[in-house]
Structure 1
Amino acid sequence: MSRTTRTRRPVLRAVAVAAVLVTAAAGVAAVTRTEPGPPRYITDDQGRALFLHGFNTSGSTKADPDSLPWITEEDVQHEYDTMGTNFVRLLIQWSAVEPEPGEYDEAYLDAVAERVDWYGERGYHVLLDMHQDLYGADVSPDRHSGNGAPAWATRTDGLPVAEQDMWELVYLEPGTMRAFDHFWNTTGDHPELMEHYADAWGRVAERFADDPAVIGYDLMNEPFGGSLQGPAFERGPLAELYRRCTERIRGADTDTWIFVEGQAVGVNWGTPSALPRLDDPRPGEPRIVYAPHAYPLPMDLGRSYTGEGRGQVDTAIALWEENVRVTAERLGAPVVLGEFGLDMSGDGAEAYVAKMLDVTDSMATGRAYWSNDHDGWGPWADEDLTPGPLAEVMDRAYPRAVAGDPLDVGYDPGGTGGGAGGSGGSDSPESPQLTVRFKAVEGVTGPTEVYLPEGEFPDGGEARVAASTGGEAEASVEWDAERRVLAVELASPAPGTEYELRVRPDRP
């Protein structure tokens, strides 16, 4: 397997029998549902709820000698023109940030900042993700597996790390396990490693604190506890790492959102996380985001999203959704789906992606597909960035910002009558329709903004807003044809009142 891609194969039959996974699942019953709290959302400086829709950029970072993704500025523009995305989970590497203990590579941070600017100039929100898989490249002498940690922070005690066709199995190699145990200081021998990691985040925050494009910091990709698994890991060293990183970040940046993940084993499949509520020392409301990943177990076991397999995957997704809600309520945090994806050549792949977009719409969460590479998983059919099947699914009407508390988002693509050249007008039942229900909130200003794809909304959109008190609500509507964004602003929003915005294709 190339380390430049995120290939998932039906390997977990073998992994599931390992004692480490049995231990990881042991804490599921210990997690109980809390009483639902008020919904929380990632908000902008006008108080509007943000809907984040985009990609991870990119798997190529893992093997690149400069730890940078393959993209150019023109590629960022091409992505927007093709799919209208507004979010990127941009991979960075600890090994590149801190190549030697306490020494930070400013040239690398400058290169990352250049790429952040490419996105920021096009209205994207950028999440910086400190990525790791299999701890780091130096867990094996020939660097055949892993990315993330620098060589000086990799302590395997000489234990072996054999290459595996099934990449996840490298997590169970003795040297990989020992490297994680030393990092989490389970061994008691290296308490300095977590400190260095937290300090590295502090330096990243210093560099990007004043960059308006950077919406957040994802503290660690898919944490793995080594020999310590389940609630003992999440409530112990993982929570402690998050506290230290948050403290360092808040020393430089009090505004940006901090994204946390539970352990990957189990949580990615839909089992509960045991992460405790985390304090945020910033003034005002906390800005902690729960950012789980979703790789339903039936799909990891090789089932396609067709026939009986589709029903099994849908059941796993429902379990994932419920347990994500439970964890988010406990954390008092909004949710962003940090990763989901699959090989787009498989049967039912497009339907699966559409399902996950519907689920995240209904949960009012953001989402980042893995990934934007041209490797069979991403939106491109070739290295010339010809749009593939995924691009059509991702080029979807969605709200970018909602002027209030979102209650429900629904997108009905309709029939062929709603597309370009079709016979259906804006009132045709076959027309595509985006529906956004929200409650007006005191102090929230600005319009609700929705992205409308050219294929289904060739001439923009016709917007209607109804109030729960009865009748249509007066609103101004502006269409930005270049960005394909429709802005709808209520004339006199009444706090506490519910509104329903419906957008259908405008008549030619």
Structure 2
Amino acid sequence: MTTVRTSGSRFIDSDNRHIILHGISMVCKDKERNYIDDWTPEDFMRLKHWGFNVIRLGIIWDGIEPEPGHYDDQYLEAIRHWIRLADQHDMYVFLDMHQDLYSCLYSDGAPAWATITDGHIYEKTALWSDAYLFDRAVQTAFDHFWNNSPAPDGVGIQDHFIKAWKYTVRYLADEPNLIGYDMINEPFIGSGVQRIVQAMFSEYGELASRLAGGQPPDMEELLAMWHDQDKKMEALSLLESIDSYRQVMEASAIAQGDFERNVLSPFYQKVGDAIRECDPDGILFLETNYFSNMGVPSTITPVLDQDGRQDRQQAYAPHGYDLVTDSDYVHAADNERVSYIFRQHEATRQRLEMPMLIGEWGAYGGSSEAENAALHVQSIFEQLLCGDVFWCYWSPDMDRYSSFKGVCRAYPMAVSGTIIRYAYRHEDDSFRMEWEEDGSLSAPTLIYMPPAQEHTANERSVRLTPAGSGFEWTQLGSYGAALLRIAPSSGSGTRSVTIG
């Protein structure tokens, strides 16, 4: 394996090739299993043959630090085992400190001892993620985390979290394929969400009333609509207009911006400083707050090094989900809204001047109707030249579902130069790429091609300009996928390849 670094808007390997990170999330959220799944070498072989070159590997704070200040090395050894299995199959890994609804008491994440709710009792919602919006226990627990309230031992719970990260990095950083750290999954604002919900629902009510020519519905009516899945889908039809969607999303921008600037970014700085004490080179992956995953502009700021300059090894890692995610209507994601979300992420990436890897997308599960949604997202990633991590590895049979077309796709794994553009068409199994070759590089360009329907890799036609020293195919096991290796040309300049 080669070490991954950042360079401007690109990820590059130790051969200085431009690489596209294309991966999948793997995380065990089951406390009864101590957050350790039963994945086998066959699972990792399958992921390699499906074309993934990186795994976003979930770690759980409750698994790392079950009691204040006491770390579970057995759990971390299990994480090391997965990292090494990935290495054996030529896949990178970055660690994702995962949480959902903050705590192991409600879903996964913080230990019970770090969950402070001021007496509020968690009540499960029909759609699990709605608890972020409406449950006071979840919101209050986040408040105490951001305020660094003391744990039973008197140490701040956020301080505990940061020390747990430091311990984990020191324990695992020597693994050669471990490339970085996703510091917290989907950071949530806490009770400040009440201000956000009020702003977004009020703006929606005003839009609805203008269209209907009547009085806006009151908040109670709007909340009742949100909790009824069929009525919610009917209401979302109003937000098929991008102007309407933008208005509703941006209604919450002030509250979210304040949180990201004044709470989240300083938190990232503290976690980043702790990680840098143990690993000076691992990539720091920066996520946005929970709502920016839906297209609200992010205001996060880069982590700085000891000299006050932007740390050279960090990447922007937002998530991208439509409003129908986690519902029975996940297949009905609106392409215009989805495109808007990723345009906003690209604008933030440009502001931050760092590479972008979409840390989560998809979540189609067993939907048999999500093919078009997945293919649309694939086309966006090709346009943006960004990396991506699909959510998630949930079954060895996930390749049987139509949405898998957008997941298992041809793409340039590593290019001896800089990618200009690329695209893959499932209809005719064709791929085209242009890149600016760097004549000083000696490593080959690698293109992953998924299993073909009616022919083998060697039967695909390849047109390469200029021809250079040629190419060769390498089969990937019995799955029918293959790697095309293109030898570097003798000099620099624009090159192109067409497959199929």
Structure 2 length as normaliser, TM-score?
Answer: 0.78
* Aligned-partner residue type, residue 430 of structure 2: Q
How far the C-alpha of 1:488 sits from its partner, in A, is 0.7
Question: What 5-or-longer segments of structure 2 have no aligned partner?
Answer: 1-6, 193-254
Q: For residue 499 of structure 1, what is the aligned residue in structure 2? A: 495
Matched, 1:435 2:432: yes
Q: For residue 359 of structure 1, what is the aligned residue in structure 2? A: 380
* Aligned-partner residue type, residue 459 of structure 1: A
How far the C-alpha of 1:276 sits from its partner, in A, is 1.8
Match of 1:79 among 47, 50, 60: 47
Q: For residue 248 of structure 1, what is the aligned residue in structure 2? A: 274
Output the CA distance in 2 between the equivalents of 1:281 and 1:433.
48
When residues 123 and 301 of structure 1 are mapped into structure 2, their CA distance, relative to the original with a 3 A threshold, is closer
Output the CA distance in 2 between the equivalents of 1:236 and 1:443.
44
Question: Deviations for 1:376-425, whole angstroms, at most 9, x for unmatched residues?
Answer: xxx626xxxx844344543322111122221211112243xxxxxxxxxx
Output the CA distance in 2 between the equivalents of 1:86 and 1:220.
22
How far the C-alpha of 1:333 sits from its partner, in A, is 1.4
Q: For residue 400 of structure 1, what is the aligned residue in structure 2? A: 413
- Give yes or no for contact 1:342–1:349 (8 Å, CA) kept in 2: no
Equivalent runs, 1:69-108 vs 2, <5 Å: 69-81=37-49, 83-108=50-75
How far the C-alpha of 1:186 sits from its partner, in A, is 7.5
- Give yes or no for contact 2:261–2:300 (8 Å, CA) kept in 1: yes
* Aligned-partner residue type, residue 412 of structure 2: P
Worse-matched range after superposition: 294-303 or 198-207: 294-303
Worse-matched range after superposition: 85-94 or 46-55: 46-55
Output the CA distance in 1 between the equivalents of 2:121 and 2:310.
48
Matched, 1:232 2:245: no
Equivalent runs, 1:358-397 vs 2, <5 Å: 358-374=379-395, 380=397, 387-397=400-410
Other structure's SS at 2:129 match: helix
When residues 285 and 235 of structure 1 are mapped into structure 2, their CA distance, relative to the original with a 3 A threshold, is closer
When residues 62 and 320 of structure 1 are mapped into structure 2, their CA distance, relative to the original with a 3 A threshold, is farther
* Aligned-partner residue type, residue 367 of structure 1: D
When residues 284 and 259 of structure 1 are mapped into structure 2, their CA distance, relative to the original with a 3 A threshold, is closer
Q: For residue 352 of structure 2, what is the aligned residue in structure 1? A: 331
- Give yes or no for contact 1:271–1:319 (8 Å, CA) kept in 2: no
- Give yes or no for contact 1:54–1:85 (8 Å, CA) kept in 2: yes
Q: For residue 463 of structure 2, what is the aligned residue in structure 1? A: 464
How far the C-alpha of 1:443 sits from its partner, in A, is 5.3
Matched, 1:46 2:15: yes
Matched, 1:202 2:200: no
* Aligned-partner residue type, residue 453 of structure 1: P
- Give yes or no for contact 1:380–1:391 (8 Å, CA) kept in 2: no
Output the CA distance in 1 between the equivalents of 2:289 and 2:339.
19
When residues 211 and 299 of structure 1 are mapped into structure 2, their CA distance, relative to the original with a 3 A threshold, is closer
Question: Deviations for 1:451-498, whole angstroms, at most 9, x for unmatched residues?
Answer: 1223256133544333xxxxx24133232223621111222231xx32
- Give yes or no for contact 2:373–2:403 (8 Å, CA) kept in 1: no
Q: For residue 482 of structure 1, what is the aligned residue in structure 2? A: 476
Output the CA distance in 2 between the equivalents of 1:102 and 1:224.
24
Question: Deviations for 1:331-385, whole angstroms, at most 9, x for unmatched residues?
Answer: 11111111112435546401211221221122111111111113xxxx626xxxx
Matched, 1:289 2:309: no
Matched, 1:132 2:99: yes
RMSD: 2.7
Output the CA distance in 2 between the equivalents of 1:201 and 1:465.
46
- Give yes or no for contact 2:390–2:407 (8 Å, CA) kept in 1: no
Output the CA distance in 1 between the equivalents of 2:401 and 2:347.
36
Equivalent runs, 1:24-39 vs 2, <5 Å: none
- Give yes or no for contact 1:361–1:409 (8 Å, CA) kept in 2: yes
When residues 133 and 400 of structure 1 are mapped into structure 2, their CA distance, relative to the original with a 3 A threshold, is same
How far the C-alpha of 1:442 sits from its partner, in A, is 6.9
Q: For residue 452 of structure 2, what is the aligned residue in structure 1? A: 455
- Give yes or no for contact 1:465–1:475 (8 Å, CA) kept in 2: no
Output the CA distance in 1 between the equivalents of 2:366 and 2:84.
33
- Give yes or no for contact 2:101–2:138 (8 Å, CA) kept in 1: yes
Output the CA distance in 1 between the equivalents of 2:40 and 2:13.
27
Question: Deviations for 1:219-277, whole angstroms, at most 9, x for unmatched residues?
Answer: 10000010245011111121111101111111111222111101012x11122111123
How far the C-alpha of 1:318 sits from its partner, in A, is 1.9
* Aligned-partner residue type, residue 115 of structure 2: T
Matched, 1:118 2:85: yes
Output the CA distance in 1 between the equivalents of 2:35 and 2:323.
30
* Aligned-partner residue type, residue 410 of structure 1: A
Question: Deviations for 1:297-339, whole angstroms, at most 9, x for unmatched residues?
Answer: 255787565xxx66xx121122112111111112111111111
Match of 2:108 among 120, 136, 147: 147
Matched, 1:68 2:89: no
Other structure's SS at 1:437 match: strand
When residues 300 and 75 of structure 1 are mapped into structure 2, their CA distance, relative to the original with a 3 A threshold, is closer
Question: What 5-or-longer segments of structure 1 have no aligned partner?
Answer: 1-37, 139-144, 416-431, 467-471
When residues 213 and 447 of structure 1 are mapped into structure 2, their CA distance, relative to the original with a 3 A threshold, is same
* Aligned-partner residue type, residue 19 of structure 2: L
Structure 1 length as normaliser, TM-score?
Answer: 0.77
Q: For residue 213 of structure 2, what is the aligned residue in structure 1? A: none
When residues 217 and 414 of structure 1 are mapped into structure 2, their CA distance, relative to the original with a 3 A threshold, is same
Aligned length: 422
- Give yes or no for contact 1:250–1:281 (8 Å, CA) kept in 2: no
When residues 223 and 445 of structure 1 are mapped into structure 2, their CA distance, relative to the original with a 3 A threshold, is farther
How far the C-alpha of 1:120 sits from its partner, in A, is 0.9
Question: Deviations for 1:160-200, whole angstroms, at most 9, x for unmatched residues?
Answer: 21122221232232221111111100879988222221221
When residues 194 and 493 of structure 1 are mapped into structure 2, their CA distance, relative to the original with a 3 A threshold, is farther
When residues 463 and 281 of structure 1 are mapped into structure 2, their CA distance, relative to the original with a 3 A threshold, is farther
When residues 347 and 46 of structure 1 are mapped into structure 2, their CA distance, relative to the original with a 3 A threshold, is same
Other structure's SS at 1:297 match: coil
**Which one has a larger percent helix, Structure 1 or Structure 2?**
2
How far the C-alpha of 1:54 sits from its partner, in A, is 2.4
* Aligned-partner residue type, residue 271 of structure 2: C
Matched, 1:276 2:301: yes
